[in-house]
């Protein structure tokens, strides 16, 4: 009875009611590509400027524990659209594969309900959707932009629009950040990178693209305002996975999975709401379906409507996973990971620890050496540290590129960068046991093939759609040629090399 009451109150908290406010809300979904928490002004970052994100947070809800279901473009985006965990989405659990068609996306459900649906730029992907019967990107029919989409909107129809920027995905134009006025000395360098000016310069180039994404989102919101539709629109601003740096993107540590998230919806969300409960990206689709007054029975996520209305919920942990990111291991092998994250601990299970988490040391088909890490000066500088770690300091090369034990456990309160693996520490044996059990329960309940067969080769065999072959990169030459070029002063022309940082 209690659960029925709860279900009804949850339903009513989001459901538009036909006699009260009969207008179904629009949905504007703004998704960056490779943007990590906490890189926004409202989270306290002192360098990157994100006035649009900060405004949405101030006028709506700011989430401090939002996690992508998987730290990789295609599986993350498939989870958003389907409301299902990556391991429930067949080949869609991999990067560069096929979009599954067995279950409906929220876009399809809303379209059937009379919504005008569309997308621009990066929707679901990379991968193929035509082969599974889609005639347009699963994120919505493609438009040149929001203006063209709105011009095609039937009179009075509610809409759902997906704006997918490719910022701050690499490659970056070096020195855009410093030349836009960002100061290297103000950058907070995560503890798994060497702290030097070239790494800082790489980070401000990443910030430069976050700022560009933020500005573009601001332009879309201004259009909504002009149309008088701002307050009847649920605006979601977030990212698909973490920053394109070593031990971040394509990893289950926080810099790979923890996402910036703000949601503005004045009809339901009080300005200045801050949500600390865990949220997983599988929660978006059931929220949108519910907000539109529709129903579904295929989704694993939990609607956010209750949280948005300020309700306290029991969301004390989040589950994370990844399979094959780029095709970077001989034999087209995946690198499976599963994890559970609570407010204090992160437990990661690596069922195939004999494989290379960042990819093989020499190229296998895509990207280059350690190809699950996008090329960058930060990556090359860490590659140059191989075998050079000093006693008492973390081995940055091993953290980013080395093999990992089957189990990892981090006290994230004491160790925010997740450098100190406690899995073999006897003092944490019971914590580890408890978290392993929680993870396995979730895997069983959600039908994860790795529950029955941890060594499943399913995602090794899934098709990798691009047909290319990359070469090993001459990373020493890349380091030699790299220059920091401040906007003014004696170094603005010839630039400052980063070789000296290696000594």
Structural element, H or E, at residue 67: strand 61-67
The verdict on 36 binding Ca ion (CB under 5 A) reads no
The verdict on 241 binding Ca ion (CB under 5 A) reads yes
What is the C-alpha separation between 475 and 488, in angstroms, rounded? 28
Residue nearest to Ca ion according to CB distances in the complex: 73
Angle between helices 2-14 and 284-291 (to 10 degrees): 70
Cβ proximity to Ca ion: between 201 and 241 the closer is: 241
Cβ proximity to Ca ion: between 109 and 337 the closer is: 337
Cβ proximity to Ca ion: between 250 and 431 the closer is: 250
- Least separation in angstroms between residue 242's CB and Ca ion is 8
What string of DSSP letters covers 86-104? GGGSGGGGSSSEE---SS-
The verdict on 277 binding Ca ion (CB under 5 A) reads no
Q: Using CB under 5 A, which of 16, 34, 234, 367 touches Ca ion?
A: 34
Give the residues across from 127 on adjacent strands.
Answer: 97
- 449 token code pair: 């093939």
- Least separation in angstroms between residue 35's CB and Ca ion is 9
The verdict on 308 binding Ca ion (CB under 5 A) reads no
What is the C-alpha separation between 256 and 249, in angstroms, rounded? 4
- Least separation in angstroms between residue 148's CB and Ca ion is 25
Contact of 104 with 467, CB cutoff 8 Å: no
The verdict on 448 binding Ca ion (CB under 5 A) reads no
Cβ proximity to Ca ion: between 84 and 122 the closer is: 122
Which of these ranges, 15-23, 204-212, 238-246, 366-374, lies near Ca ion under the rule CB under 5 A? 238-246
Q: What distances in angstroms separate CA 175 from CA 347, 395, 495, one per listed residue?
A: 37, 28, 10
The verdict on 251 binding Ca ion (CB under 5 A) reads no
Which of these ranges, 13-21, 25-33, 304-312, 478-486, lies near Ca ion under the rule CB under 5 A? 25-33
Q: Is the dihedral of CA 121, 324, 130, 290 positive or negative?
A: negative
Give the residues across from 460 on adjacent strands.
Answer: none
The verdict on 240 binding Ca ion (CB under 5 A) reads yes
Cβ proximity to Ca ion: between 264 and 325 the closer is: 325
The verdict on 33 binding Ca ion (CB under 5 A) reads yes
- Widest CA span in the chain: 74
- Least separation in angstroms between residue 182's CB and Ca ion is 22
The verdict on 167 binding Ca ion (CB under 5 A) reads no
Contact of 86 with 316, CB cutoff 8 Å: no
What is the C-alpha separation between 82 and 256, in angstroms, rounded? 21
Contact of 334 with 345, CB cutoff 8 Å: no
- Least separation in angstroms between residue 265's CB and Ca ion is 25
Cβ proximity to Ca ion: between 162 and 410 the closer is: 162
- 291 token code pair: 């907000």
- 65 token code pair: 């524990």
- Least separation in angstroms between residue 73's CB and Ca ion is 4
Query: 10: which residues sit within 8 A by CB, 6+ positions away?
Result: 303, 305, 306, 311
- Least separation in angstroms between residue 276's CB and Ca ion is 25
Pick left, alpha or beta for residue 327 (phi over 0 → left; psi -120 to 50 → alpha; otherwise beta).
beta
Query: Residue count at the site for Ca ion (CB under 5 A)?
Result: 5
Structural element, H or E, at residue 388: none
68-107: contacts with Ca ion (CB under 5 A): 73
| Residues in contact with Ca ion, shown as a per-residue x/- string from 45 to 74 under the rule CB under 5 A | ----------------------------x-
Q: What residue ranges bind Ca ion (CB under 5 A)?
A: 33-34, 73, 240-241
């Amino acid at each position: 009875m209690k659960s029925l009451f709860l279900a009804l109150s949850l339903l009513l908290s989001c459901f538009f009611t036909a006699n009260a406010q009969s207008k179904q809300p629009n949905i504007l979904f703004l998704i960056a590509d490779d943007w990590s928490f906490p890189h926004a002004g409202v989270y306290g970052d002192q360098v990157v400027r994100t006035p649009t994100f900060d405004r949405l947070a101030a006028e709506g809800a700011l989430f401090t524990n939002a996690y992508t279901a998987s730290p990789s473009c295609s599986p993350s985006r498939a989870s958003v659209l389907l409301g299902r965990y990556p391991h429930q989405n067949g080949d869609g659990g991999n990067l560069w594969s096929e979009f599954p068609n067995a279950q409906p996306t929220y876009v399809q459900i809303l379209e059937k309900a009379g919504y005008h649906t569309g997308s621009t730029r990066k929707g679901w992907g990379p991968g193929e959707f035509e082969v599974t019967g889609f005639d347009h990107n699963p994120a919505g029919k493609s438009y040149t932009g929001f203006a063209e989409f709105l011009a095609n909107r039937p009179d009075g129809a509610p809409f759902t629009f997906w704006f997918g920027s490719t910022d701050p995905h690499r490659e970056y134009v070096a020195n855009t950040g410093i030349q836009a006025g960002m100061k290297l000395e103000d950058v907070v360098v995560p503890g798994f990178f060497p702290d030097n000016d070239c790494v800082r310069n790489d980070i401000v180039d990443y910030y430069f693209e976050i700022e560009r994404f933020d500005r573009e989102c601001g332009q879309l919101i201004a259009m909504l305002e002009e149309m008088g539709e701002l307050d009847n629109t649920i605006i979601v601003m977030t990212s698909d996975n973490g920053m394109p740096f070593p031990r971040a993107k394509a990893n289950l540590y926080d810099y790979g999975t923890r996402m910036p998230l703000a949601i503005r919806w004045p009809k339901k969300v009080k300005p200045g709401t801050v949500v600390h409960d865990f949220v997983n990206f599988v929660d978006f689709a059931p929220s949108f379906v519910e907000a539109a007054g529709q129903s579904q029975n295929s989704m694993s996520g939990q609607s956010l409507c209750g949280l948005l209305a300020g309700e306290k919920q029991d969301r004390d942990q989040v589950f994370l996973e990844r399979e094959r990111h780029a095709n970077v291991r001989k034999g087209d092998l995946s690198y499976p990971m599963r994890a559970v994250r609570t407010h204090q601990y992160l437990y990661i299970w690596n069922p195939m620890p004999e494989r290379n988490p960042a990819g093989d040391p020499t190229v296998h088909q895509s990207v280059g050496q350690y190809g699950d890490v996008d090329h960058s000066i930060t990556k090359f500088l860490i590659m140059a540290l191989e075998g050079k770690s000093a006693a008492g300091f973390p081995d940055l090369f091993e953290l980013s590129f080395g093999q990992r034990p089957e189990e990892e456990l981090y006290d994230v309160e004491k160790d925010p960068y997740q450098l100190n693996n406690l899995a073999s520490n006897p003092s944490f044996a019971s914590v580890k046991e408890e978290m392993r059990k929680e993870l396995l329960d979730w895997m069983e309940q959600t039908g994860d093939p790795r529950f029955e067969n941890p060594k499943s080769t399913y995602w090794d065999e899934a098709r990798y759609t691009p047909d290319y072959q990359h070469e090993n990169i001459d990373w020493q030459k890349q380091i030699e040629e790299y220059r920091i070029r401040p906007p003014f002063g004696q170094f603005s022309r010839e630039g400052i090399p980063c070789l000296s940082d290696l000594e």
